[in-house]
Every structure is written in C-alpha cells, then in structure tokens.
Amino acid sequence: MTDDLSLLDATAQAQLVARGDITPLELVDAAINRVEKVNPELNAVIHPLFDKARTAARGELTGPFRGVPAVVKDLDGSSAGDPCHMGNRLLKEVGWVDDHDTFLFAKLRAAGFVFVGKTNTPEFGLQPTTEPLVYGPTRNPWNTERGTGGSSGGSGAAVASGMVPVGHAGDGGGSIRIPGSACGLFGLKPNRGRISMGPDAGESWAGCVARHVLTRSVRDSAAVLDVLTGEMPGDPYTAPPPARPYADEVGADTGRLKVGLLVRAPGEMVPTHPDCVAAAEDAARLLESLGHTVEPASPAALDESALMEKFMVILTTWVVHDVNETARRAGRTVGSEDVEPLTWAYSELGRTHSSADYVDAVNTLHAWSRRMAAWWHDDGYDVLLTPTMAEPPPVLGDLVPPADNPFEGAARATAFATYTAPFNVTGQPAMSVPLFESSEGLPIGTHFVSAANREDVLLRLASQLETARPWSERRPPVHA
C-alpha cells in the first residue's frame, strides 16, 4: 500500500483513511520515508518536522484530510513552535521560532493535514527562483540542473517529486503559478481577500499577495480552497463567498467560454521563448476542440508602462518593513551583511520613497486595475490565456544576482513574472495548468485569468482540461 502513496493525491489518501485502509500514522510515516529518500537530491524540505508530525498523527485528528501529510513554506506567516527563517541568514542564526499559527495554518490543521516539514524559499520571497544563500538551491525533479521557480519552489519540488500531495504556497508576483509551471503542477492563485492573511497581517504588498497551495490535481486545490476560504475576525476586506463549495465546480459544465489569447509579454518587456508560445497556442487549440471560442485579444491596459515602476515602489517599501521586522526578531540592527545583496538594494531603494510616493503608487495601481477589469466586465471575455512564464525553467544560478550588481538579478527575473505579476496587482484569480512539455522534457505551464472573484470559472475549466489531457500519471525522473 505505502509504495503507491506517492502517486495518490490528497483526496485519495484521505479516502484511504476514511475507509480504514490505512492509519494517519502510516500515511505520515510513509511521507517521512519519501522525504528522507528524495530530499537529499532536491533540497526542498529545509526544516524536517518528523517527530511533531508523528505525534500529531497519533492524536485525535478530524476533518476532510485527516492524516494527510503536507509541507508548509518557510515564509508566509507562522506555524506554532516551528522555525521561520524566510530564507534569511540572521533569522537562522538567532533560531527564530514562531509561537502561534496563522489562520491559514490553523485551518489546515483543523482539516486534518499533518505538517511533515517546512520548505525552502528565496529570502523574503523576492525572487522567482528558490536559491537562498543560507540554504542553497532547491533542484527541479524534472532536471536537477534547473530551478523550481519561486518563491514557493521548495513546496513545488516536494509535491512534484511525490514527497507529499499538498504544499502550502504564497503568491505576490507569481509565486504559486511560477513553481506550478516549473514543476508540472496545478497552481491556483485565489482572488484577493479569499483567504485571510491574519492574525498578524491584513494584507501584504498592498494586497498583491495571496496564499493557497500547490497540488497535483484540480480536485485537491478546490477542496483545500474550501477549507481556507472565508472571512476571519478583523480582516480589512474579504472576497464575496462562493455560491457553492469549490469542490462542486470540479467536473461542472463550463459552458462556452470566450477566451482571449496573448503570447507576447505585456509591454513587450521581454521576448517570449518559442516553447512558451507553443504551450499557450497548444492550449488554445485544445480549448477550441472543447467548444470554446479563442481569439487574439487582451486588455489594452496590460501594455501601460507605469505598472512596473509603481509595483516596485510597493515591493521595495515592503522590503524595508521585512528588514525592520527581522531586526526586531533578532534584537539588533540589520546591516548589509545580514541580508542578501538584492534584499539590501531593495531596502535601500525603498527607504528613498516617501509615504506620499507609496499612496500614489497604490492609487495608480488601483486605477489601472479598473481599466484592466473592463476587458472582462465590458468586453465580455471570460478568460485570458497566456504562457505562465516567458521562458522554460532556468538553469540554477541564472537568476542569482551578482553581489556587485544586484539589480541585474531583478532585471533577469522579469521573464519569469511578466505574465503573472499584473494579476497580483488586480487581485484577480489566476492559475497555471500543466498541459505542455518542452522539447527537453521540461514542464511548461499555461496561464489562465478570470474576472474578479470567479475562481469557479477557473476550476471548472481546469477540471475540463485535466480530463481532456490528464497529467497525473506524468512523473519526473527524481520521484519517490
């Protein structure tokens, strides 16, 4: 039985427990064995939580995912009693440990998930690659010379390699969808306000950050979204509740969708690799074969040049906050030697912005988001289809900035977030679906964006695509 668990999604594993075919402890022990077997080659799990996991599995677990093993990213919020180093050397040095769960982690535990480890992430989640100096790179199970994307790349590698079926992830510029694309997984970024950021934060990066999970199946993603969705006390805003459980959207009729296709980067900031163009065009043909209407179209506002400038004001201002919070936790001032060169460069730039600059950036991006929304609302499109990334998964080291020119890494990273980051700004739901492989056998994700608050549309479409072109049987060379 346990030899087959690496191939089962979380829903199937939970069903085994519910039928009495396996115990939660057996599920967790099998996952721990898989982590021990595969992780040395991938460096996905940086904080093993094996003893705590076994203790939890022996306890009174309840919920729809009773006993199912999962990993959580070492960045987004807190998990009680566990290290939280956020890819930072100083926090590792002082041994920072969180003393409480975020609402998200508490809901995952209440649903029955058991955390077997925390996963690698770039420092403060700032890069679309997972290569922090303090913990080293996470390697892609499809090709260990390639990266896993970021900032949820550790979770991506853990799920893709079969260590666990579910990996917690967060997305401020593509950090669910980019690892989903690079690792051949399904990655849904929910709508702004769908999942609470509390209790420690109301929002992050002026509302650009959303949190959810990476999975191998659409049904797992939908079911976990049902677990996590919902307003919590004190939330500054929340998305409207769905008409029915998201799990009910899996297999539901999509109707005939009007889809716009875009295969050039917004503003043509970077060229798009032919494999990534091919992935989107292949998906367009698949959609047409399923009865949908696809035509070259996209919001005109996507090409406005002010977007990146204002986004960087918000991003770098929040980096100042992260550096200050690190200083608070460490109990001393943070200097350039305590963070990576790009982090320090961002924080120095962030300190040049005034409070008025920040408010202007937020207001400018809100106005831009309204112009974006008109394409769905007024022009009648249901979905925008693009590549997830403008390039296939990069060779490790390619996105690591040189110490003497840290902004070079930021510029190089544009190719990996150019299609995804705009929809962090608008707050719309978006997903990467693993429909395509490059000529080298690397996963190439396809990106879909719906109107605001329409995760139901995306989940129905993803389920239809999963049925038409199943991906669950594809396994990378490095697999448990």
Assess whether the previous peptide bond of 199 is cis (omega < 30° from 0). yes
Write down the pLDDT at residue 1.
45
pLDDT above 60 (res 2) = no
CA-nearest of 135, 44, 141 to 393 is 141
Q: What is the pLDDT of residues 12-63, one digit of tens each?
A: 999 999 999 999 999 999 999 999 999 999 999 999 999 999 999 999 999 9
Write down the pLDDT at residue 78.
74
pLDDT above 70 (res 136) = yes
Write down the pLDDT at residue 403.
87
Query: How many Å apart are CA 206 and CA 328, to the nearest integer?
Result: 22
Return the percentage of the chain with pLDDT > 90, whole number: 95
> Which residues are tagged catalytic?
73, 151, 175
pLDDT above 60 (res 445) = yes
Q: What is the pLDDT of residues 258-309, one digit of tens each?
A: 999 999 999 999 999 999 999 999 999 999 999 999 999 999 999 997 788 9
Query: How many Å apart are CA 135 and CA 43, to the nearest integer?
Result: 8
pLDDT above 50 (res 171) = yes
Assigned CATH for 2-468: 3.90.1300.10
Dihedrals phi, psi of 441, to nearest 5 degrees = 80, 15
Which pLDDT band holds residue 176 (cuts at 50, 70, 90)?
Answer: very high
Write down the pLDDT at residue 409.
80
Which pLDDT band holds residue 465 (cuts at 50, 70, 90)?
Answer: very high
Q: Identify whether the C-beta of residue 185 lies closer than 8 Å to the C-beta of residue 430.
A: no
How does the average pLDDT of the chain come out, rounded? 96
Which pLDDT band holds residue 77 (cuts at 50, 70, 90)?
Answer: low
Tokens of 117: 């480890």
Which pLDDT band holds residue 3 (cuts at 50, 70, 90)?
Answer: low
Give the mean model confidence (pLDDT) for residues 98-121: 97
Spell out the domain ranges in the chain. Answer: 2-468
> Angle between the 24-42 and 50-58 helix axes, to the nearest 10 degrees?
170
pLDDT above 90 (res 430) = yes
Give the mean model confidence (pLDDT) for residues 360-386: 97
pTM value is 0.98
